[in-house]
Amino acid sequence: MAKALGIGIIGAGNISTTYLRLAPLFKGIEIRAIADISKAAATGRASEYSVEARSIDGLLASDDIDLVVNLTVPDAHFDVSKQILSAGKHLYSEKPLTLSLKDGLELQKLAAKKGLKAGCAPDTYLGGAHQLARKLVDDGQVGTITSGTAHVMSHGMEHWHPNPDFFFRPGGGPILDLGPYYIANLINLIGPIRRVAALTSMATPTRTISSEPRKGETIKVTTPTTIQALLEFESGASVTLSASWDVWAHHHPNMELYGTDGSLFLPDPNFFGGEVKLAKPGKKAKPVKAWAHPFGTPNQKHAAGLMANYRTAGLADMAVAILQGRDIRCSLERALHGVDVMISILRSGEEKKFIDIKTSCTRPEALGIKEAKSLLKKN
């Protein structure tokens, strides 16, 4: 049995630097080549990280590539992912998996037909903080989860991203861009979702870019930028999710879960680390003692200080799962359920009614300290 899968990347944009920089931390994966529709972009990134630059067709035909990571823009995800699977390669996609349930189901059918595996980000719920929360839930520290709240709100991406256009087109927006982190973590903690309802809107029809190099340009907004959603889980729990790029400031916490025996307070699911708090009946919330989970250890400087960043953990888990013949935590089935939920939220906003979710999935297997260490080259 091979010790690692040969990895190719399609898409040499901003996110590719994260994969290329962090992949060497993990077992099971060796990034060997990168391709992009822009030959110059692929060549530049390949030179920066000492991998090969290949054409897209060349990469897909390469015998040394077992699994291809799709890092293209969201509205290209389906076409590129289909191309990857059709070429006989395992697939790992950045989020969202697709922009429609129909396309996601087609990828699922194609992967099954080809005997291939497919996975999808986000993998941040594998972080030390969120897996600590998972352990508390599994250990019964909050009893049965009955409800909760989640908030992801800011004033958008045009203030920092060099090319923010796609964030404000169909396929972008706060639900499809940031919602995957929150929904994946809710599935991790509570399980699959039964139905959703939502109100959606946009504050302005245009946005003015304030970041370089396109400062001052105006872009059209063609997708909702404020979404107030209600999620009903198969377990009976209900969670409100507020996602907006029309908010300058707020004091809402990222995520709170309320159970029959206590309340759980979680950090931002967009990140791996952070503080988890627990409130028992009649008591104030107190920080839970941090555990020695490797994916909660700060390893990167951030504007707000040191942070834990282990993106690529989901890819590594998928590769090791393929080699060992076990379940993939960031599986296509869970990503597909997430797409179903997000698309249904947007549809509910248009149709003004509850939408039943057509898909389901299981909770992923927890990733404890021992399991996380087993994915790292040094532990």
State the pTM of this model: 0.95
Q: Rounding to the nearest 10 degrees, give the CA dihedral for residues 133, 138, 139, 143.
A: 90
Q: Are 75 and 171 in contact, with CB atoms under 8 Å apart?
A: yes
Task: List the chain domain ranges.
Answer: 5-120, 125-308+328-356
CA 209 from centre of chain? 25
Residue 366 DSSP symbol? P
CATH code for residues 5-120: 3.40.50.720
Q: For residue 2, what pLDDT is reported? A: 73
Q: For residue 1, what pLDDT is reported? A: 53
pLDDT tens digits, the chain, 379 residues: what are they?
579 999 999 999 999 999 999 999 999 999 999 999 999 999 999 999 999 999 999 999 999 999 999 999 999 999 999 999 999 999 999 999 999 999 999 999 999 999 999 999 999 999 999 999 999 999 999 999 999 999 999 999 999 888 899 899 988 899 999 999 999 999 999 999 999 999 999 999 999 999 999 999 999 999 999 999 999 999 999 999 999 999 999 999 999 999 999 999 999 999 999 999 999 999 999 999 999 999 999 999 887 789 999 999 999 999 999 999 999 999 999 999 999 999 999 999 999 999 999 999 999 999 999 999 999 998 6
Residue 363 DSSP symbol? P
Cα angle 194-196-202, degrees, rounded to a multiple of 5: 155
Angle, helices 77-86 vs 101-114, to 10°: value is: 10
Q: For residue 175, what pLDDT is reported? A: 96
- CATH class, 125-308+328-356 region: alpha beta
Q: Which residues pair with 145 in a beta bridge?
A: 259
| 198, burial (CB in 10 Å: exposed 0-12, middle 13-18, buried 19+) | buried
